[in-house]
Amino acid sequence: MKYRTIGTDPAHRREVSVLALGAMLFGTRTDEATSFAILDRYVAAGGTFIDTSNAYAYWEDGGQGGQSEEVIGRWRRSRGVGEEIVVATKLGARPLAPGTGYVDNPEGLSAKVIRESAERSRERLGVAKLDLLYAHVEDRTVPLQETVEGFAELVAEGTVGLLGVSNHAIWRVERARALATAAGLPGYEVLQYQHSLLRPRYDVPTPMFPQGSLGHAGPELAAYLRAEPGLTLVAYSPLLAGAYTRDDKPLPADYDHPGNPVRLAVLREVARETGATLNQVVLAWQLAAEPAVLPLAGASSLAQLEENLAAVELELTADQLARLDAAH
């Protein structure tokens, strides 16, 4: 395993494994025994960065989420896991009632919700302090100042370490960080967005983003990260839920455009040259990126996890990386 540091404040920054483990479906589609086995193997391989949310996975049973955090909490307690493992969670997207969702009925990002939801996440995870807490989705009904101050209060109290943000317009991320800086408060340092080798169209409505995507890491985010080297990009869904390798997992509609077949052809060429799988080449490409990218890949079986772990040791040549970057 390889490691990178996230965060800049010496009091809160953490060294984490470059491959993060997504636990979104633990406790729902992935049963507890399998979830425990995946977590055990990930840690045995040197993995130290686990990602979840208080909303996971409400859509699987029509509930409100929390199952993934609960499974991780039971695993932590049963294994005696301590501060060596960084668990990141998110709030803001948890539906307020069963049968609803984050698009139509989210808890939001008020100071009250931030405090209460973070406390419940700590209880489910069985921790006194959340290592990394994200604002999961935007809430434009609450002033940004209130959200910034709400997160900062938890950091000051010692119940949260690093702060992160996901699925926000970049201008709102910058505005929130500017407000925090002006007030001498901690701000977002870890940005989690969907990012993969194949590129989406950003103007196509999706179930998650009916107005067009705010969740993809596009050119604007790339430029922002280059200008702000203290920030870290965590890339969720790097393998597009299996679409690179599984016939039963077609690409989403927003990936249907002329550029992607060209990129896919180059990806297949590089996979043949290296003897690696398509998924492994995608992860290795992300791991070699500048600015740095930490891929966040879920796994529903040990076989999937082993495939992902092997990508950490895959070294692509400068020529292969250049060809993957240039294809369009």
From residue 162, alpha-carbon distances to 7, 79, 233 in Å are: 7, 24, 14
**What is the token pair recorded at 92?**
């803001």
Confidence check: pLDDT of 212 > 90: no
From residue 324, alpha-carbon distances to 74, 202, 285, 320 in Å are: 41, 20, 8, 6
Q: Tell me, what's the pLDDT at 80? A: 96
Task: Please tell me the distance from the alpha carbon of residue 280 to that of residue 73, in angstroms, as a whole number.
Answer: 29
Average pLDDT over residues 74-84: 95
DSSP 154-198: HHHHTSEEEEEEES--HHHHHHHHHHHHHTT-----EEEEE--SS
Three-class DSSP category at 223: helix
Residue 44 banded pLDDT, cuts 50, 70, 90:
very high
Q: 146-195 pLDDT, tens per residue?
A: 999 999 999 999 999 999 999 999 999 999 999 999 999 999 999 999 99
- Would strands 86-91 and 130-135 be described as parallel, antiparallel, or unpaired? parallel
Q: Tell me, what's the pLDDT at 265? A: 97
Q: 92-128 pLDDT, tens per residue?
A: 999 999 999 888 899 999 999 999 999 999 999 999 9
Q: Is the peptide bond preceding residue 291 cis, with omega within 30 degrees of 0?
A: yes
Average pLDDT over residues 76-82: 95
Confidence check: pLDDT of 211 > 70: no
Percent of the chain, pLDDT > 70? 98
Confidence check: pLDDT of 207 > 70: no
Closest by alpha carbon to 239, among 286, 203, 272, 192? 286
From the options 3.40.50.970, 3.20.20.100, 3.40.190.10, 3.30.70.580, give the CATH code of 3-326: 3.20.20.100
Q: How many CB atoms lie within 10 A of CB 176?
A: 22
Q: What is the pTM of this model?
A: 0.95
From residue 128, alpha-carbon distances to 86, 87, 93, 121 in Å are: 13, 12, 22, 10
Backbone CA torsion sign across 252, 256, 259, 261: positive
**What is the token pair recorded at 3?**
């490691």
Confidence check: pLDDT of 247 > 90: no
Cβ contacts of residue 191 below 8 Å, gap of 6+? 164, 165, 166, 173, 221, 225, 231, 232, 233, 234
Burial class (CB in 10 A: 0-12, 13-18, 19+), 215: buried
Task: Tell me the domain boundaries of the chain.
Answer: 3-326
Residue 218 banded pLDDT, cuts 50, 70, 90:
confident
Q: 268-311 pLDDT, tens per residue?
A: 999 999 999 999 999 999 999 998 899 999 999 999 999 999 99
* Lowest mean pLDDT across 4-8, 173-177, 212-216: 212-216
Mean pLDDT of the chain: 95
Average pLDDT over residues 123-148: 97
